Structure 1
Amino acid sequence: MTDTSPLTTGGEIGYLRIATEEAYGPPELFDLYRKLLETTDDIGFRSLMGHYLTSDAERPRFVRDRLQDAGEKRLSEMDAAGVDHAVLALTSPGTQVLADDDAREIATITNDRIAEATATYPARFSGLAAVGFGDVPAAVKELDRAVSSLGLKGLICNSHIKGHYLDEARFFPLLEALESLGVPLYLHPNTPNNDMIKPLYEAGLDGAIFGFGLETAMHLLRMITAGVFDRFPRLKVVVGHLGEALPYWLYRLDYMHAGQVKANRYEAIKPLELKISEYFRRNIWLTTSGMPWAPTIMYAREVVGADRVMYAMDYPYEYVPDEVRMQDALPLEPAELKQFYQDIAIEVFGLDEAVLTGG
């Protein structure tokens, strides 16, 4: 029988529910997106934002309204779902589709607004920094400001940057800054770029149903196989949706990568210090955003480690309080549920437990 009792906050159940992939966007961003829709040839952007910014269907209206709120409306819906704390981050596709000047401006606005929300509601919100990835020196500077001065807890990257990926050497100063600051990168989905999206778009599979995960999984794999985590061994990466299906592939990825190295088949494939699967146990954490199903959560915990899988809701794109009940009902001991909902997030994002608990 499904539990229909009210979900509560405050930790009386033995843990705080910390949601770690919760989207936000300032109104200025959506003004720029509306202008961009008039001129862009980016198929994925037109598909994603053309829907969420123009459709009158119930779900896109809900999403675009809630994305812009970092106050009482969001808090009331967190309360109704029993979510104690949300890690806010700039919604996809973030700054990645914007011109450099606009990207820098939106990143600054977003970071200031999220910082204001966290200062107003410190027990309820923390946040990740946004940057304009096209101007890497400016991005490094803004990341440092956001973390060191504003108190933000990491960096959001909404996957590809106009078809470019973080394994490219020009982005290494930003990865070096993340490692030096000791904060994580959250690698969040985006629609695939024009070079890979067409067969997905034709089938209606370009978005969250499949294309998001496909594109983001490829991005993370590129980072691993390019040796990014050998160059930056202390870099922390968080990826949602239970790792975009990659945990299911780990044996095959290890096996095939070893064969490619031995055959010297591709210039891009070089020996690594670890197996692909081992980077998941050293550098990568997964969240359950949009993936509340017990069999998949338990499988991910088994193959990457229980200390690598934490809770997320994916608000407002997926706001289903019953999914919280599904995860409360995981076959875990109370201490394991506390680790899953609370402790891992505190450790990875460097949250202040005393602030969260009012201590």
Structure 2
Amino acid sequence: MTVIAIEEHWTTPELTAALAGLPEESRDDSLALNDMGDNLSRLEDIGDARLAMMDEQGIDIQILSVAPPATGPLAAADAVSLSRRMNDLAAEAVRRNPSRLRAMATLPMAEPSAVAGELERAAGLGFVGAMVYGRTGDTTLDDPCYDDLFATAAALRRPIFIHPQIPSRTIRRAAYAGFDPMTDLALSTFGWGWHLEAALAALRLITRGTFDRHPELEIILGHWGELLLFWLDRADSISRIAGLERKVSDYIRSNVFITSSGMFNPALLHHTLTATTIDRLLFSTDYPFQRPTRPEIQQFLTEFDTDEDREKFTGGTARRLFGIEV
């Protein structure tokens, strides 16, 4: 049984410095989470230490993706140049360890005209998909300026992973503030706000008709669907009003893959299987922010009814989606 972890993060000192150097109004406060404990040293290692941790967990292949907020908050020109450098570094890491690593592209979302071209370049380097966020500045992911990205991703058969991000400062002041600074941050990120942002981004793409225009497009949501799968009965009511061809839940089942992000709670697995099929589920640990042990992973895998379903979750579906030959 091959285990492929698809949401495993990394970064570089150059990107960290560029993000930390932004003016206060442009800075992403969730960057502080990268500094907690030994997260940063683990994020910056895409070599021997990472491979050793994979061995310890029983993971055969990691798909690398740049930790949030990636290059999104940077000025357009800086986002273009640094996204390119990050992709070159990730490609080199994969070349050094082709049996253990793959990568998702980092895209310069602050410069929409450069996004599709960088995805094409990354695909030529062997990247298996791209990771993006629901909003860049005030521009949402479903804005027409990004439609070339989705057309290109569909044509190249490269899935787009929508990762959570911190809500805008306006929303944070209105809904997540009033506690001490770290509690405010936790509430607006991993405790709640991150996941609403990602779910909303996916729901907006559906509502915008993105999958009607690009039926071959595949997206990925982490954390067992970022709460969206728990609310499909209500979300389906959007379809008729928005003039969609199908129900929201139908798009979820046909165009969205769901990954675990290290949340190995059997109840989440079983609920997800009421909303979609085993062929749409993917394994991930959200390294280094979540670090499940090998026994914890193995215990969770006993929740699958058959060896076939277990193999799909751990690696079979990832091999098919990302074109990984092992």
Q: TM-score when scaled to structure 1?
A: 0.85
Any conservation in 2 of the 1:19–1:313 contact (CA below 8 Å)? Answer: yes
Instruction: Please give the per-residue CA displacement for 1:66-95, whole angstroms capped at 9, x wherever unaligned.
Output: 111110000111111111110101111111
CA distance in 2, matches of 1:222, 1:84: 35
Correspondence 1:231-246 to 2 at 5 A: 231-246=213-228
List per-residue Cα deviations over 1:181-240 (Å, max 9, x = no partner).
Answer: 111001111111123222224353111111110111111111111111111111110110
For 1:135, give the aligned amino acid.
Answer: E
- Residue 129 of structure 2 is matched in structure 1 by 154
The Cα shift of 1:336 comes to 1.0
Partner residue in 2 for 1:86: 62
Q: Per-residue deviation at 1:326?
A: 3.5
Residues 86 and 124 in structure 1, CA contact (< 8 A), matched pair in contact too? yes
Please give the secondary structure, in 2, of the residue aligned with 1:61: coil
1:317 is aligned to 289
Residue in 2 aligned with 1:357? none
Unaligned residue ranges in structure 1 (runs of 5+): 1-14, 54-59, 262-269, 354-359
1:42, CA displacement in angstroms?
Answer: 4.6
TM score, norm. by length of structure 2: 0.94
Instruction: Give aligned-pair identity as a percent.
Output: 30
Corresponding residue of 1:195:
170
SS at match of 1:128: strand
Q: Deviations over 1:272-297 (max 9, x none)?
A: 01100000111100000032101111
Match of 1:57 in 2: none
1:24-59, Cα deviation, whole Å (9 max, x unpaired): 1122101112212xx22257x12x123534xxxxxx
The alpha-carbon distance between structure 1 residues 163 and 324, as it changes in their structure 2 partners (threshold 3 A), is farther
Pairing partner for 1:257 from 238, 241, 247: 238
For 2:233 and 2:227, how far apart are their aligned partners in 1? 13
1:126-171 superposed Cα distances (whole Å, 9 cap, x missing partner):
00111111222222211111101x1101111033111322211111
- Determine the C-alpha separation between the residues in 2 that align with 1:339 and 1:183: 19
For residues 258 and 127 of structure 1, what CA distance do their matches in structure 2 show?
Answer: 34
Q: How big is the alpha-carbon RMSD for the aligned residues of Structure 1 and Structure 2?
A: 1.5
Structure 2 partner of 1:112 = 88
Q: Does 1:277 align with 2:249?
A: yes
Does structure 1 residue 63 correspond to structure 2 residue 49?
Answer: no
In structure 2, relative to structure 1, the CA distance for the partners of 1:155 and 1:52 (3 Å cut) is: closer
> Size of the alignment, in residue pairs?
318
Pair 1:28 & 2:14 matched: yes
Bigger shift: 296-305 or 278-287? 296-305
| Matching residue's letter, 1:351 | I
Inter-partner Cα distance in structure 1 for 2:296 and 2:80: 36
**Runs of 4 or more consecutive aligned structure 1 residues displaced over 4 Å after TM superposition:** none
Task: Pick the aligned partner of 2:197 from 195, 215, 223.
Answer: 215
Distance in 2 separating the partners of 1:336 and 1:50: 38
- Indicate the SS of the match to 2:253: helix
Preserved contact between residue 5 and residue 283 of structure 2 (Cα < 8 Å)? yes
Counterpart in the other structure of 2:146: 171
Alignment partner of 1:185 out of 160, 163, 176? 160
Cα distance in 2 for partners of 1:214, 1:341 equals 26
* Contact 1:160 1:193 survives alignment (8 Å): no
SS in 2 for 1:118: helix
Contact 1:238 1:284 in 2 (8 A): yes
Contact kept, 8 Å, 1:97 with 1:161, in 2: the verdict is: yes
- 1:201–1:152 distance in 2 versus 1, CA, 3 Å: farther
Greater Cα offset, 340-349 or 202-211: 202-211
Q: Secondary structure at the match of 1:134?
A: coil
Structure ID, larger Rg: 1
* Rounded Cα–Cα distance in structure 2 between residues aligned with 1:40 and 1:151: 36
